[in-house]
Structure 1
Amino acid sequence: MEDLSVSIGRTEIVRGVSFAVNRGSTLGIVGESGSGKSMSVLAATGLLDAPGASVTGLSQLHEDTRSLTLTSATARELRRVHGNSVGFVFQDPSTSLNPLLTLERQISETLETHRGMTRRAARSRALDLLESVGIPEAESRLDSYPHHLSGGQRQRVMIAIALACDPALLIADEPTTALDVTTQAQIIDLVKELQAERGTAVVWISHDLGVIGQVAEEVLVLKSGQIVEQGPTSSVMEQPKHTYTQQLLSARPTLGRHPDSADPDAEVVLEVKDLKVDFSVSATTGRKRIQAVDGVSFCVRRGQTLGIVGESGSGKSTIANVLTGLVKPTAGTAELQGADLLSVRGASGRSLRRRVAMVFQDPFSSLDSRMRVSDSIGEPLRVHRLPTGGSRDDRIRELLQLVDLPEEFASRFPHELSGGQRQRVSIARALALEPDVVILDESTSALDVSIQAHVLALLERLQIELGLTYVFIAHDLAIVQQMSHDVLVMRGGKSVEQGSASQIFLAPEQEYTKMLLAAIPPEKPAVVRR
């Protein structure tokens, strides 16, 4: 790429971006949302399809003995290149994969189109690809649909599709952002291994410098559509020159940060005993029962935070859904200051459940796009006919002030806010009813590291000022250590280990906990030089 610029109407989104990536090497592109990371690569590969968009500059793909200028290529030339010479792995495999097509069909489609393979040959190749990316029982999975797979398995399928035709270039756009640390580590190792075997060049886009430090030899830092720093990953991460790069590095959560020691004599607010949750699911042999949570017990003390960690499918979010009444448990109790959340009904049940609030992972989908901020925050107040004294509008302004949002934001819609601002609105809504317990279910995992740092600081401040009690669910162990007084480690629906945060992080007893800690990206670059 040379001097690439992208404009939408009169607004210039990307300005003068230049870089090169060689065969077998990896270039990392980092920056916050809106910095132009994805826009640059989409424009460079001919995938930008926005009304009023214009692209200037040069983008060339060199493959063996031929070169193609992508920025001026015809639609026919781009169809020949996409999927064949350039493979793409995007952030969310659930939206990238077609829910109506089997895995075999989605992989073989590329092979039949670009390689002219027969259906039988394409199926054989699809099987080889699924095996190469580590899908268990690959042959039986060929006829499966995306919803039959976990998030990590779906991302492996996306990698298989992207690499089906042995492309010269792989574009990996935030491919591990939504994954837990162990699955993230597996995907990183998988791409490295396949890259070494095939000599593929990789452009890896991420907002996490820790991930870039593991995969890329060179790094390019973007801010507001412009390059602010560029060079070898080790140099940029160890001696950043630009203030923005320094801010990104300082905002990144790392092990070692943790709250003050827990008070063992503090009042127990929430106590869960022997919680069990079963789900009935369809299988090839008929319906079967899946035990999502199996005999989990824990307690949370007032003004403190219990961190719950584990891989996808470990049962973390199922516990949150049980506590908020979204899922009915099979057995067990959950006492909130002596009253069982799981058995109360009617008016007393509604009164008790308002004392447990929840902040979800994606603030955009958890807020109604048709409701203004004031309506979203005021809805729980209207449902419970609060406040009993004073103005509801005054309470909404007070909640906005509490989460550091200006009063005028009350009239805005969710699409008019940034990701961090939307999450602050979600937190304000959760605090509207003055709950005893706030459940934070991956509440910062969808945010950029700098915005994430601001939201975490807000949560810590609110806990101190209001004496809030948190159940903090996350797959990022560095954040869990920073936020939690006690930690519960889960695997396969069971409690593997639990104790104080210092005990879990400094002297873990179980091998699984040690494996989770070992999967955290190191502070220093850990790229194997080629």
Structure 2
Amino acid sequence: MTPRSPVLSVADLGVRIGSRTIVDGVSFEVFREHTVGIVGESGSGKTMTVLAATGLLDAPGAKVSGSSVLAGDVPTELVGASPRLLRSVHGARIGFVFQDPGTSLNPLLTLERQITESLQTHRNLTRRAATTRAAELLEAVGLPDPQTRLHAYPHQLSGGQRQRVMIAIALACDPELLVADEPTTALDVTTQAQIVELVRRLQRDFGTAVVWISHDLGVIGQVADDVTVLRDGLPVEQAPIDAVFDHPREQYTRDLLDARPVLDTSAPVTDPSAEPLLEVAGLDVKFSVPTPVGRSQVHAVRDVSFTIRRATTMGLVGESGSGKSTIAACLTGLVKPDRGVATLGDVDVLGAKGRAAKSLRRRIGLVLQDPFSSLNPRSRVGISVAEPLVVHRLADSKKTREERVAELFELVGLPASFAQRYPHELSGGQRQRVSIARALAAEPDLLILDEATASLDVSVQARVLDLLARLQRELGLTYLLIGHDLAVIRQLSHDILVMRHGAVVEKGPADDVFSAPEQEYTRTLLAAVPPVRPRA
């Protein structure tokens, strides 16, 4: 293999499942120290393309056509290869990093066992040599105290640390090709930036070729040299990254670029006469958690105070573990704080009991990150939306409930006929709109949005954010918008509250926080947002 010959050559790749064409006519090449970005919305065929190209596709009835050649002394055709040949390639010559390390790692095995497995299988290393190599890999991916971490289990690590372990496993045998399938989608923006930088550094050090899959052109702009844009399984645009950003040829590519959350937008204008709706003072939460040496106390929220005014949005920002969701759990009665006061109008939020607590549940709505797990998979979504109407006795008859559900579906931009569908029959964005409709059914004073767009494609995310902005204008809604991405938070927030390790590190009007952040941590969060221009 010459220095400029491709590591992987994919030509006219196609995938059919039954009578349906999933991928058609995809071709690309990836070279040493070179990254090809494959981008598109959910269902565009990104993951299916790479699974088919690497011989991992195992869907019943799937037929793969075309060619995918892994270079070497003897080029290896991966399309139609035998299971034995693929086992010798996967792990040894091709490494994989998938979106959710929580499901990719075995929860019953230590990190040492999971990293050394491929080393002993493909490199025939002794257990001692494999363990030494595993510690070196954990150190290379930036995991602190690697010798101790070898004996840890996946649940003892954060999401970013688990993803670093997945990268260590993928790189264990010095593969020629690394496939990264949405490896940063579920991570904080700061952790995402660290993972992107880690892969770039390892690529420079080891000369690895990378195929990076994402729905976000902002992320692709940080890592890719060339881009293939997929839509409905078809390559609609292929070009160097600069050309895609500067002169996109297809409207679909322009739509993906426009959907990226960026920081150069102005915060919504605040009505100075808006009166306080929710006031929180001195909120403090501690948890007792088991550890190998006994129980330990985690100080999840430390003396947090803030005020949200009517018809405005408070953006609550911070990394995973900063205490954001714990505050939401306190306000909705799911967690009892150790100390603090919270009032909604004239109602004591934290001390409400009996009828007062039930009334409060009506006044505070909640929209969670994963709409699929929030909805009952065995119930039609119309029934889920009508449930608050039944619980709070807001509709006297079945006909009244059906009319109100139809109004709510129209309000969130869905046809009333969708009420008869089940959650699995809707897209992610449609399911999140249903979740918003259900939260609005009880006509709440405050709507808590806990990472409500984090799991969505950027194009779907943009539409949901536009919907929330419209509903706030039309209905005078008040939001507590929880997230880790400052670019998303900026689009809706009038005021910002930045948290770290359970404590507030900065707060103030959104324009002030974004234009002149006082704290280094806030500046770090801002710097982690993908830039407008590609830097790969």
Shorter-chain-normalised TM-score: which range?
Answer: over 0.9
The answer on 1:505 being equivalent to 2:506 is: no
- Judge conservation of contact 2:318–2:498 (CA < 8 Å) in 1: yes
Q: Which amino acid aligns with 1:66?
A: V
Question: CA offsets per residue over residues 425-456 of structure 1, 9 Å max, x none?
Answer: 00000001000100111111111111111111
Of residues 36, 51, 55, the one that matches 1:27 is 36
Of residues 65, 90, 97, the one that matches 2:98 is 90
Q: Distance in 2 between matches of 1:477 and 1:115?
A: 44
Q: Distance in 1 between matches of 2:376 and 2:98?
A: 26
Of residues 318, 327, 332, the one that matches 2:326 is 318
The answer on 1:406 being equivalent to 2:404 is: no
Q: Which amino acid aligns with 1:179?
A: L
- Judge conservation of contact 1:33–1:448 (CA < 8 Å) in 2: yes
Q: Distance in 2 between matches of 1:29 and 1:475?
A: 25
Unaligned runs of 5+ in 1: none
Partner of 1:166: 174
- Judge conservation of contact 2:268–2:491 (CA < 8 Å) in 1: no
Q: Which amino acid aligns with 2:216?
A: D
Q: Distance in 1 between matches of 2:192 and 2:30?
A: 23
Unaligned runs of 5+ in 2: 1-9
Q: Which amino acid aligns with 1:191?
A: V
The answer on 1:196 being equivalent to 2:204 is: yes
Partner of 1:10: 19
The answer on 1:423 being equivalent to 2:426 is: no
Q: Distance in 1 between matches of 2:173 and 2:341?
A: 53
The answer on 1:482 being equivalent to 2:491 is: yes
Question: CA offsets per residue over residues 233-264 of structure 1, 9 Å max, x none?
Answer: 01111111111101111111111223432123
Q: Distance in 1 between matches of 2:393 and 2:115?
A: 54
Partner of 2:148: 140
Partner of 2:232: 224
Partner of 1:303: 311
The answer on 1:456 being equivalent to 2:452 is: no
Of residues 405, 409, 412, the one that matches 1:396 is 405
- Judge conservation of contact 1:14–1:40 (CA < 8 Å) in 2: yes
The answer on 1:336 being equivalent to 2:305 is: no
- Judge conservation of contact 1:258–1:483 (CA < 8 Å) in 2: no
Q: Which amino acid aligns with 1:450?
A: S
Q: How does 1:44-59 map to 2 (within 5 A)?
A: 44-59=53-68
- Judge conservation of contact 1:30–1:208 (CA < 8 Å) in 2: yes
- Judge conservation of contact 2:78–2:86 (CA < 8 Å) in 1: yes
Q: How far apart are 1:353 and its partner, in Å?
A: 2.1
Partner of 2:4: none
Q: Distance in 2 between matches of 1:290 and 1:259?
A: 35
Of residues 113, 127, 134, the one that matches 2:121 is 113
Per mean C-alpha deviation after superposition, the further-off stretch among 154-163 and 283-292 is: 283-292
The answer on 1:67 being equivalent to 2:75 is: yes
Equivalent position SS for 1:202: strand
Q: Distance in 1 between matches of 2:111 and 2:388?
A: 43
Equivalent position SS for 1:512: helix
Q: Distance in 2 between matches of 1:258 and 1:66?
A: 56
Q: Distance in 2 between matches of 1:328 and 1:457?
A: 34
Could you list the structure 1 runs, at least 4 aligned residues long, displaced by more than 3 angstroms after superposition.
Answer: none
Q: Distance in 1 between matches of 2:132 and 2:395?
A: 65
Q: How far apart are 1:498 and its partner, in Å?
A: 0.1
Equivalent position SS for 1:105: helix
Partner of 1:288: 296
The answer on 1:267 being equivalent to 2:246 is: no
Q: Which amino acid aligns with 1:431?
A: L
Question: CA offsets per residue over residues 364-385 of structure 1, 9 Å max, x none?
Answer: 1111111101111111222222
Q: Distance in 2 between matches of 1:324 and 1:21?
A: 50
Question: CA offsets per residue over residues 488-519 of structure 1, 9 Å max, x none?
Answer: 00111100000000000001111111111111
The answer on 1:466 being equivalent to 2:475 is: yes
- Judge conservation of contact 2:278–2:343 (CA < 8 Å) in 1: yes
- Judge conservation of contact 1:302–1:469 (CA < 8 Å) in 2: yes
Q: How far apart are 1:386 and its partner, in Å?
A: 1.9
Q: Distance in 2 between matches of 1:475 and 1:284?
A: 30
Q: Distance in 1 between matches of 2:381 and 2:268?
A: 34
The answer on 1:493 being equivalent to 2:498 is: no
Q: Which amino acid aligns with 2:17?
A: I
Question: CA offsets per residue over residues 432-489 of structure 1, 9 Å max, x none?
Answer: 1000100111111111111111111100000111100000011111111111000000
Equivalent position SS for 1:391: helix
Q: How far apart are 1:388 and its partner, in Å?
A: 4.8
Q: Distance in 1 between matches of 2:388 and 2:338?
A: 28
Q: Distance in 1 between matches of 2:271 and 2:487?
A: 22
Equivalent position SS for 1:270: strand
Q: Distance in 1 between matches of 2:534 and 2:31?
A: 20
Q: Distance in 2 between matches of 1:518 and 1:288?
A: 34
Equivalent position SS for 1:379: helix
Q: Which amino acid aligns with 1:499?
A: G
Question: CA offsets per residue over residues 29-77 of structure 1, 9 Å max, x none?
Answer: 11000111000000111111111100000001113x2221000210001
Partner of 2:3: none
Q: How far apart are 1:284 and its partner, in Å?
A: 2.6
Normalising by structure 2, we get a TM-score of 0.97
Of residues 31, 36, 41, the one that matches 2:45 is 36
Normalising by structure 1, we get a TM-score of 0.98
Question: CA offsets per residue over residues 127-180 of structure 1, 9 Å max, x none?
Answer: 111111111122111111111111111110110111111101000000011111
Partner of 1:380: 388
Q: Distance in 1 between matches of 2:120 and 2:268?
A: 59
Q: Which amino acid aligns with 1:479?
A: V
Q: Identity percentage over the alignment? A: 63
Partner of 1:254: 262
Q: Distance in 2 between matches of 1:369 and 1:394?
A: 23
Q: Which amino acid aligns with 1:107?
A: I
Q: Distance in 2 between matches of 1:45 and 1:112?
A: 22
Q: Distance in 2 between matches of 1:290 and 1:258?
A: 37
- Judge conservation of contact 1:256–1:482 (CA < 8 Å) in 2: no
Per mean C-alpha deviation after superposition, the further-off stretch among 257-266 and 430-439 is: 257-266
Equivalent position SS for 1:292: strand
Equivalent position SS for 2:50: helix
Q: Which amino acid aligns with 1:187?
A: I
Of residues 233, 236, 249, the one that matches 1:241 is 249
Q: Which amino acid aligns with 1:231?
A: A
Q: Which amino acid aligns with 1:97?
A: L
Q: Distance in 1 between matches of 2:359 and 2:450?
A: 22
Partner of 1:436: 445
Q: Distance in 2 between matches of 1:514 and 1:5?
A: 45
Of residues 340, 350, 370, the one that matches 2:378 is 370
Per mean C-alpha deviation after superposition, the further-off stretch among 100-109 and 386-395 is: 386-395
Q: Distance in 1 between matches of 2:386 and 2:343?
A: 28
Q: How far apart are 1:419 and its partner, in Å?
A: 0.7
- Judge conservation of contact 2:267–2:511 (CA < 8 Å) in 1: no
- Judge conservation of contact 1:255–1:481 (CA < 8 Å) in 2: yes
- What RMSD over aligned residues (CA atoms) do the two structures have, in Å? 1.1
